[in-house]
Amino acid sequence: MATFRATARELSDLVSVMTGEMEARHLYLYRQERWIAQAMAVTVEMYPRPPEGPSLPDLIDVASRSFLNDIEETCNLAGLDDVQSETLVERSRRGIEAFTKACGMAVLEQIRSGKTEPDRDAMLLRVDQLLPRILGTERPARSIPFAGRKTRGVNGLL
């Protein structure tokens, strides 16, 4: 099972981010959520399919518990307090939940298209497409006229 093991440098960085400025902490937590979702996708991709490997639900369950245990252990090694640790674990859970939701959506699309046995490779491709929307990282299309032009604000006051 793929695991997250922190080096001394990563522990030091974690402590400085989690005890530092709020903006840096928010950015780190934002990235953590996305990193975990992508790590789940890589984990699912690298394991053999049934009957040699575990079923998708079993694999997601084992991988998510493994990641969360490793993150909790890393927080303890870094000496983070309970609030900091729980914040990091919660954001990691959000990444796992986003991945799980994307998997469900992708499998449902395959079932609706008439496939009796979902194709894991096609599902993972679709998960990669769905994750940005689920995680809120998809940028909306610009619909403002003259977007990108510098303006002086309302009545030229800015």
Q: Return the pLDDT at 153.
A: 41
In SS3 terms, 68-105 reads as HHHHHHHHHHHCCCHHHHHHHHHHHHHHHHHHHHHHHH
- pLDDT per residue as tens digits for the range 34-45: 999 999 999 999
pLDDT grade, residue 144 (50/70/90)?
very low
- pLDDT per residue as tens digits for the range 80-110: 999 999 999 999 999 999 999 999 999 999 9
Q: Is the pLDDT of residue 23 over 70?
A: yes
For range 25-53, the mean pLDDT: 92
**Is residue 132 within 8 Å of residue 138, measured between CB atoms?**
yes
Average pLDDT, the chain: 84
pLDDT grade, residue 118 (50/70/90)?
confident
For residues 121 and 125, give the distance between their C-alpha atoms in angstroms, rounded to a whole number. Answer: 6
